[in-house]
Amino acid sequence: MTIVADPPAPVDTLEVTLGIDTHADTHVAAVIDPLGRHLGHATFETTLSGFKALLAWAAGFGTIALAGVEGTGAYGAGLTRFLTAETVPVVEVDRPDRKNRRDQGKSDPIDAYAAARAAASGRASGTPKARTGDVESVRALRVARNSAVKARATALTQLKSLIVTAPDTLRAQLVDLDGAELVTTCARLRPARSPNPTPPPSTKRAPRPGPLADPTAATKRSLASIATRIKTLSTEITELDDDLDALLTPLAPTLLGLLGVGLDVAGQLLVTAGDNPDRIHNESAFAHLCGVAPIPATSGKTVNRHRLNRGGDRAANAALYRIAICRLRWDPDTRAYVERRTKEGLSKKDIIRCLKRFIAREVLAAIRTDLNPRNPA
């Protein structure tokens, strides 16, 4: 009996999976078939024309059923937006772990094929953040605000440290001042200088000021410079806060209405969830994302024990912690809960962990209420 094999499927009906290892200047793409066989890999520039060339190249192997992209929130953000706009399903792929790299080696094509396999197998299934709405605007503003806050804190530390070592007469004028009064006073300091040097007749530059007369003058010059920087940063922070207020107040009224949630906390939690909170399947997934899911810690005679989760988004974890601390002080129901759980033998850390887990559930419901009408599933 003769067995006639079915003819091979045409290329344009073959479903393939695309994997991409992202970098600052180039992306390396790899394509595999449904059986995981390598079909090809290539390198493309991180430009719009490069993205179009990458998509056209991958489509030459067949229909792109799925794309696994490393770093969808960093180097792969632009490519992810492009592929999503082209209706290509995209999943976020974590970097290969160290064990796999030791076993298989490290190169860009290896990482790209690994990303494709992770997407095809379902091991990588996270939906990337949309990054096309108001939450992305909040994230961008928070980057500038957070850097300004850190710079101001650093400058304040430097200002106070310089006063500690300042000459006695100058330190006596400033040591009892604090806060805005200290900054204003330092900004008004004017150092004594030696006579201006005489510039040569041929110079075109304006004459430079005379050299600083002594260490007191130099310290005054430094204090005035740092204080002026602090005032500039404070103005910048205030302006950014106004911009964030204008965005967040209409964007997240339900979230801002929760006890203990202000603009800073709300902004961080929205950025963690993203413009498309429907990508978070349930409250347990959000708790894991925020690092507040209980982790089993049972061994031997220690049963039914859980510990704090040290993973997840630590900034979101800190935001939930601030809500919990606020409620511990101001909310009677929370204080009654703490008293009851303390009598049951739980430690303060365990109680705060439980509170953060409950708050995460409440926060996710508020975020979905606020954002889902803007981003329907």
**304-345 pLDDT tens trace:** 777 777 888 999 999 999 999 999 999 999 999 999 999 999
**What is the pLDDT confidence band of residue 128, given thresholds at 50, 70 and 90?**
very high
The CA-to-CA distance between both ends of the chain, in Å, stands at 55
DSSP symbol at 130? -
Mean pLDDT of the residues in the chain = 88
Q: What is the rounded CA–CA span in Å between residue 187 and residue 36?
A: 66
Helices (H) and strands (E) in the chain, counts: 14, 7
| Buried b or exposed e, range 44-83, using 16+ CB within 10 angstroms | bebeeebbeebbebbbebbebebbbbbbbeebbbbbbbbb
Give the C-alpha separation, 351 to 303, whole Å. 18
- Look at 157-166, 197-206, 250-259 and tell me which has the smallest mean pLDDT: 197-206
Q: Residue 341: its pLDDT value, please?
A: 94
Q: Is the pLDDT of residue 4 over 60?
A: no
Arithmetic mean of pLDDT, 145-167: 95
**Residue 22 in 3-state DSSP?**
strand
Which of 163-167, 178-182, 204-208 is the least confident region? 204-208
Structure tokens at 119: 């997407």
CA–CA separation, 160 and 222 (whole Å): 12
Q: Is the pLDDT of residue 2 over 50?
A: no
The phi, psi pair for 127, rounded to 5°, reads: -85, 125
Determine the pLDDT at residue 97. Answer: 67
Asked if 212 and 193 count as a contact pair (C-beta separation under 8 A), the reply is yes
Note whether 223 and 217 are within 8 A (CB). Answer: no
The letter for the amino acid at 160 is K
Q: CA 174, CA 154: separation in Å to the nearest integer?
A: 19
For residue 377, name the pLDDT band (cuts at 50, 70, 90): very low
Q: With H, G, I as helix, E, B as strand and everything else as coil, classify residue 27.
A: strand
The answer to whether the Cα torsion of 217, 223, 226, 228 is positive or negative is negative
Chain CA centroid to CA 7, Å: 51
User: pLDDT at position 208, please?
Assistant: 63
Instruction: Write down the pLDDT at residue 299.
Output: 74
Asked if pLDDT for residue 180 goes beyond 50, the answer is yes
Amino acid letter, 106 = K
Question: How sure is the predictor about 116, in pLDDT bands with cuts at 50, 70 and 90?
Answer: very high
In which element (H, E) is residue 64 found? strand 63-70
Q: Over the range 279-316, which residues count as b (16 or more CB within 10 Å of their CB) and which as e?
A: bbeebeebbbbbbbbeeeeeeeeeeeeeebbeebbeeb
pLDDT range class, residue 201, cuts 50, 70, 90: low
Q: What is the pLDDT of residue 375?
A: 47
Phi and psi at 311, nearest 5°, equal -105, -160
Lowest mean pLDDT among 33-47, 84-98, 358-372: 84-98
Instruction: Say how far apart CA 49 and CA 52 lie, in whole Å.
Output: 5
What per-residue confidence (pLDDT) applies to 373? Answer: 59
**In angstroms, rounded to a whole number, what is the distance separating the alpha carbons of residues 201 and 39?**
74
Task: Please state, for a pLDDT cut of 90, what percent of the chain lies above it.
Answer: 70
